[in-house]
Structure 1
Amino acid sequence: MDTHRIHHDYKPGEITDITNRLIAETDERIAELVAQPHKEFSNTIEGYEDIITAYNERFDPVSFMMDVHTSADIRKDAENARDLSSTYLVGLESRKDLFNALHEADATTPRSTLSPVQRRLSEQTLLRFKRNGLDLPDDKRERVTALKKELAILCTKFEANLGNNTDTAAITPADIEGAPETFLKRLKRGSDGEYIVEAKSSDVVPFMENVKSGDARYHVLDVWERREASNNNPLLRRALDIRAELADLLGYPTWADYSTEIKMTKNAKTAQDFLVDLRRDLAPLTTRDMKELIDLKYANGSDEPFRQWDIMYYANQLLKQKHDIDSDEIRKYFPADHVVPQLLGLASDLFGVRFEEIPADAWHPSVRLFATSDAASGETIGHIYTDLYPRDGKYSHAMAQWLRRPYSRGEKRALPINAIVANFAPPSDGQPSLLSHEEVETFFHEFGHIMHMTLAKPEYSTMGVAGVAWDFVEVPSQMMENWVWDKRMLQTLSRHYENGSPLPDDLIDRMIAARNASSGVWNMRQLVLGTLDMQLHTERGLDPTETHKDIYRGLMGIEPLADTQMPASFGHIMGGYEAGYYGYIWSKAFAQDLFSRFEREGVRNPRVGMEYRKTVLEPGDSRDAIDLAREFLGREPNNDAFVKSLGL
């Protein structure tokens, strides 16, 4: 059997059955571990690690079916299984007998006999249990367990609702002036000839950037920002209440303090101060950039107030009118079937790896599979799936997902299997999938995650990328974005889908010169989300929708959409990034600092790329992230490159 292929041919109910059997088998192994008369690091702490590793190896690929399977019944089955699994794991790491066994093993094993990585495993394992309330009296511990189980179910449901959303906006032909022909060709049509715009980024973004009618843009944005509101708002409010109660029970001032304890910031105040300082630094740039967009609207003959649904349109018009950049024309130079191999070629040169496409036999015919090997040894080191186009019920944004987590300890070894999931415009009517430059940047971002997941070589599976501090985990992905702004890379990355020509040099120069166009607006938008997330997790009893409106108004300087329900689709705060969204901007500072070495020594320098692979990617979570950055840079990290990248 091909161990690198992900099984997908399930019958309804089969994934739930698999999960129930897996839970029963895991319970048997836990019972044997706890019953051991003599407990030490190797048979108890490493033994528990082996049990969790085996569990994840079997559950991760079936859980993934919730995000990508073509059958609604199978996706629902995987959703049920995810609920079963998440509540089981909460209960497992809340068990007093298991905690006592692990604690006994830790206490009876001399620290001097353990390697630094083994000591780290022991400390992190025990910390996970303590963060589930194992130091609390039984009644409070049981309450923590019950609340965490409920929270896990809420988060799964929130994501499932967004994935299954089918909201659309119907736009008459008279109201769609400005939309590119390539975009219109792939839209569905209604019975009266109206264009059907789906509430998916692959439809919403090109619509908002190009359609001239403000009323039509308002309509599409209104649908986009209100999707799943009736279903997800109650889930989010309940989740916030649960997190606040959990913080009280576990002895933390706020959930943000609980969340940041295991991140680089270590506490909520550090994260909050970072956001406040960044707001101060960005404010003049945002004011300048917003004024430029407002002035452009009035210069184009409008006397209407500037609104939220104007931002993307006039930012795109600014590129056209001031910088002579037509985003839709640029899209024609980035067919996906050219971008993918060029990105793989860059990764090969930088990181010393090779990619070979092999038959995928996957959950959808458009999915591709690449075997990854080390260029020097020829040894296979992992496999990567790509699932790039939207379909009903599929996860609606872009992500990188592990399907098998790597580890290598003695004879125990597993190679990683990962998937990059996106929602780019699919091929249609003989035209290939064409990516905007922004989508190319998104693809590079997710591929940065994939390289981290593929090249990490931890001794223990829990010390792979899944264990990396969540305000550092975005560093490899955001660093990878820089290559789409390199002139030489853009020359090789682009190929017009009709005549095969690369982007003209003068157009590339204009694109690079306009890199920071409206950057104050886009970065402040990120700050809105980071501030909203942090405020919801440090203050009690807030209404998420009204809080978002207040923050948006204060930071962006314009009125938000009147009926916006944006928090109901803010998947990050129900998907592991709660009190952690600030990490995108925090990570950007480290990403730009690390990239400064490539800028200085060559953006395709294989020596620097291999050093980055060995120093930053391969360790996973076996060392603190700050130490990895220091070693690669040869100094303390600083914000100089980050400040420059913001256009400040």
Structure 2
Amino acid sequence: MIASEVLALPTGNPFGRAWETPFGLPPFAEITPEHIKAAYPAALEQHRAEIEAIKAEKAAPNFANTIEALERSARGMSRLGGVFYNLAGADTNEALQAIEREMSPVMSRHWSAIMMDPELFARVDAVFEARETLGLSEEQLRLLERTHRGFIRSGARLEGEAKARLAAINERLAGLGTSFGQNLLKDEASYALIIENEADLDGLPPFVVAAMARAAADRGQEGKHVVTLARSIIEPFLTFSTRAALREQAFSAWSKRGENGGETDNRAIVAEMVKLRAEKAKLLGFATFAHFKLDDSMAKTPENVRNLLELVWKPARARAGQEAADLAALAQSEGENAPIRPSDWRFYAEKVRQKTYALDEAVLKPYLQLDRIIAAAFDTAGKLFGLSFAERPDLKGYHPDVRVFEVSETATGRHIGLFLGDYFARASKRSGAWMSAYRGQRNFDGEVRPIIVNVCNFAKPAEGKPALLSIDDARTLFHEFGHALHGLLSDVHYGSLAGTSVSRDFVELPSQLYEHWFLTKEVMQRFCLHAETGEPIPDELIEKIKRAQTFNQGFATVEYTSSALVDLAFHSLEAPAEVDPLAFEAKELARIGMPAEITMRHRTPHFSHVFSGDGYSAGYYSYLWSEVMDADAFNAFIEAGNVFAPEVAGKLKRYIYSAGDTRDPAEAYTLFRGRLPTPDALLEKRGLAA
């Protein structure tokens, strides 16, 4: 019997009935935090009953009654979690945060009990031991191997006290990760640098002033201007403001999120998480937490990761030193003899960029209208993968800003999925940009098509004005849409292997690769039209953008790589006693020779990739690992003489975007490209090649 998504609840609760909405889109307008809170006990009970039924099966364990039965389980919980966790990140409130705090340890206990259940694991293990005799397809064998490995990595082979201790560690880590993320959101949402003096807007282009006015109005400060910690406001403020003292004030707040004392301070949370992760790794038989995490990745070992990071670090630090000297020379020519501070870097870098490349962001930005960049991302997907996108204003998202698009196969009209775009910053949304799924794809027990969301934090324009992006914003949009395509194009049988369910250092390949198309002349000439005149972006401006791509790459690479090295250092500790996170961070930065003029892209107390959950812990290097592949992968199109080469795009779709985790990532890449890449293309792309 197929497990139901419908929970045993009154039908007045949306999770207690089937959704008759178009394409099964969640009925957001009907769902309240009270519905979510009431649904969790029912979801847990349903899942426990499904697991007990698998264990009680009298027939000998086989692929169908054990592995496929596990695939069918937890569908009610998945539907509930798909709504709840997405809302908790993109449009949260105190009620949702309370549920998050309450449920994170409960969910950890629930999954620990299942994944450490000796009877259940005995059935999985029996099927795994017989795998060569079962006549399984390649995908079935992959599912069996991944399921078995998942149980082992969750402690299924532990006994007695060790098993109980691991469950306790997991529960505590879940609660700490939730607290870390909520503390960071509070720090970000509560900060506002109010600018009341018009003279303090000196140097700021109109698009920055307008964004700050809109942010002030949103905070009840009508007629004033506000610097928030949303990247779409803080970064341009630091880039253009002539007021050094205000830049320093804003930068300090941005840099010190999570370390301001009081109830939102994350330092003690980090210290405890590092200790618990190290203990968890030891229980599971690994030297360090980095060894544990990387054992299930493309990189395999901390040594391989460190080798790549240090290969990039040395030329990046040298380039950053040259860049710092250039900035200091410019500052001195303007009568500023003090050393360049981190709060100064963007300001002087922009001046050098304008001087060197005659590339003025204030001139460039009108060509980067949000709606046109969205259209460019859609059109690129059409040319590469044969997809069409139709906006559906009749379908409502979880917030008025959310736009819903139906995705279809152009040639046949076949429904591919729904895409939700949530582009503007707000206080109820955590910072950054991400892709997530309200529903994943599967063909098991009937075809189920995905519902995918991209969440960004672009500055919202004044009423009636177009939203204008920076080059970095536009690349972010393409990046996240690359992730979205990984979810939308998924075409696998089993949901556990679908879409982005791949190793962490492979998941960034589809997203980072997709960024390349934005900067092609074919895309920019068609979609980068001036917001006022409608004129296409001039060829000479496109060439300036391309020439400037390696500008400031010493800074960008140092900023990122230092964060990845600190992450790896924290999780390479074998048996930490008391860890002072900031002292440890400072020691590691001193070891690698961090330039004084640059700070980490994510300092430890606000390093949400690593400490707000387990996603990128010991894995922040993944962006660079994937960049080795994406630089090489785009070269396949260049070599074909056509950035939309159909044969290359067909292989890319088949082996990367549609394949999920149905095969080993190295095998998947080799099937696409014919070989594995080397770091050469990465170093050349970043302008760091010798």
Q: Following superposition of structure 1 onto structure 2, how do residues 431-510 of structure 1 map, counting pairs within 5 Å? A: 431-510=465-544
Q: Deviations over 1:264-299 (max 9, x none)?
A: 011112112221222223333222223222222222
Tell me what 2:193 maps to. Answer: 169
1:191 and 1:52 map into 2 onto residues whose CA distance is: 46
In structure 2, relative to structure 1, the CA distance for the partners of 1:46 and 1:145 (3 Å cut) is same
2:550 and 2:419 map into 1 onto residues whose CA distance is: 32
Tell me if 1:312 matches 2:346. Answer: yes
Tell me what 1:381 maps to. Answer: 416
Q: Which amino acid aligns with 1:508?
A: I
Give SS of 2:406's match: strand
Match of 2:206 among 143, 168, 181: 181
1:247 and 1:94 map into 2 onto residues whose CA distance is: 16
Tell me what 1:641 maps to. Answer: 681
Give the drift of 1:552.
4.4
2:625 and 2:120 map into 1 onto residues whose CA distance is: 36
1:136 and 1:620 map into 2 onto residues whose CA distance is: 30
Contact 2:439/2:450 (8 A) holds in 1: yes
Q: Deviations over 1:53-110 (max 9, x none)?
A: 5532342122211112364424543554455334422332122222122223334555
Q: Which amino acid aligns with 1:596?
A: N
1:551 and 1:7 map into 2 onto residues whose CA distance is: 48
Q: Deviations over 1:473-504 (max 9, x none)?
A: 10111111112221222112211111111212
1:87 and 1:489 map into 2 onto residues whose CA distance is: 49
Question: Unpaired runs of 5+ in structure 2?
Answer: 1-19
Q: Which amino acid aligns with 1:5?
A: L
Contact 1:445/1:481 (8 A) holds in 2: yes
Q: Deviations over 1:314-348 (max 9, x none)?
A: 22112212211111221111111221112101111
In structure 2, relative to structure 1, the CA distance for the partners of 1:371 and 1:80 (3 Å cut) is farther
Give the drift of 1:200.
1.4
In structure 2, relative to structure 1, the CA distance for the partners of 1:615 and 1:109 (3 Å cut) is closer
In structure 2, relative to structure 1, the CA distance for the partners of 1:612 and 1:561 (3 Å cut) is closer
Match of 2:83 among 61, 72, 90: 61
Q: Following superposition of structure 1 onto structure 2, how do residues 508-527 of structure 1 map, counting pairs within 5 Å? A: 508-527=542-561
Q: Deviations over 1:88-142 (max 9, x none)?
A: 2233212222212222333455534212222221121121111122222211011
Q: In the comparison of the two structures, how many residue pairs are matched?
A: 646
1:15 and 1:504 map into 2 onto residues whose CA distance is: 51
Q: Which amino acid aligns with 1:331?
A: K
Q: Deviations over 1:299-322 (max 9, x none)?
A: 232111111111111221122122
Q: Following superposition of structure 1 onto structure 2, how do residues 270-289 of structure 1 map, counting pairs within 5 Å? A: 270-289=304-323
Q: Deviations over 1:18-40 (max 9, x none)?
A: 12211100101111110111221
2:443 and 2:277 map into 1 onto residues whose CA distance is: 36
Tell me what 2:5 maps to. Answer: none
Match of 1:101 among 106, 117, 123: 123
Give the drift of 1:207.
0.6
Tell me if 1:586 matches 2:610. Answer: no
Give SS of 1:148's match: helix
Give the drift of 1:511.
1.1
Tell me what 2:44 maps to. Answer: 23
In structure 2, relative to structure 1, the CA distance for the partners of 1:298 and 1:380 (3 Å cut) is same
Tell me what 2:24 maps to. Answer: 4
Which deviates more from structure 2 when the two are superposed, residues 337-346 or residues 636-645? 636-645
Tell me what 1:326 maps to. Answer: 360
Tell me what 2:582 maps to. Answer: 545
Tell me what 1:557 maps to. Answer: 595
Contact 1:236/1:568 (8 A) holds in 2: yes
Give the drift of 1:44.
0.5
Contact 1:67/1:75 (8 A) holds in 2: no
1:192 and 1:490 map into 2 onto residues whose CA distance is: 36
Contact 1:87/1:153 (8 A) holds in 2: no
2:106 and 2:493 map into 1 onto residues whose CA distance is: 28
1:593 and 1:108 map into 2 onto residues whose CA distance is: 39
Give SS of 2:491's match: coil
TM (normalized to structure 2)?
0.89
Give the drift of 1:193.
7.2
Q: Following superposition of structure 1 onto structure 2, how do residues 175-214 of structure 1 map, counting pairs within 5 Å? A: 175-187=200-212, 188=216, 195-214=225-244
Q: Following superposition of structure 1 onto structure 2, how do residues 68-147 of structure 1 map, counting pairs within 5 Å? A: 68-69=90-91, 71-78=93-100, 80-108=102-130, 110-147=132-169
Contact 1:545/1:565 (8 A) holds in 2: no
Q: Which amino acid aligns with 2:86?
A: F
- RMSD of the TM alignment (CA)? 2.2
In structure 2, relative to structure 1, the CA distance for the partners of 1:485 and 1:123 (3 Å cut) is same
1:221 and 1:379 map into 2 onto residues whose CA distance is: 49
Contact 1:332/1:496 (8 A) holds in 2: yes
Tell me if 1:406 matches 2:422. Answer: no
Which deviates more from structure 2 when the two are superposed, residues 76-85 or residues 478-487? 76-85
Give SS of 1:637's match: coil
1:108 and 1:626 map into 2 onto residues whose CA distance is: 26
Give SS of 2:274's match: helix
In structure 2, relative to structure 1, the CA distance for the partners of 1:147 and 1:129 (3 Å cut) is same
Give SS of 2:194's match: strand
Q: Which amino acid aligns with 1:603?
A: V
Give SS of 1:419's match: strand
Match of 2:289 among 248, 252, 255: 255
Tell me what 2:398 maps to. Answer: 363
2:498 and 2:345 map into 1 onto residues whose CA distance is: 39
Contact 1:552/1:559 (8 A) holds in 2: no
In structure 2, relative to structure 1, the CA distance for the partners of 1:352 and 1:193 (3 Å cut) is closer
Give the drift of 1:626.
0.9
Give the drift of 1:588.
0.3
Contact 2:441/2:448 (8 A) holds in 1: yes
Which deviates more from structure 2 when the two are superposed, residues 533-542 or residues 380-389? 533-542
Contact 2:401/2:422 (8 A) holds in 1: yes
1:328 and 1:216 map into 2 onto residues whose CA distance is: 21
Tell me what 1:598 maps to. Answer: 637
1:351 and 1:269 map into 2 onto residues whose CA distance is: 37
2:479 and 2:108 map into 1 onto residues whose CA distance is: 28
Give the drift of 1:547.
3.1
Contact 2:483/2:500 (8 A) holds in 1: no
1:70 and 1:131 map into 2 onto residues whose CA distance is: 32
Contact 2:46/2:74 (8 A) holds in 1: no
% identical equivalent positions: 27
Question: Unpaired runs of 5+ in structure 1?
Answer: none
Q: Which amino acid aligns with 2:617?
A: E
2:329 and 2:26 map into 1 onto residues whose CA distance is: 53
Give SS of 1:471's match: helix
Q: Which amino acid aligns with 1:312?
A: R
Give SS of 1:325's match: coil
Contact 2:115/2:121 (8 A) holds in 1: yes
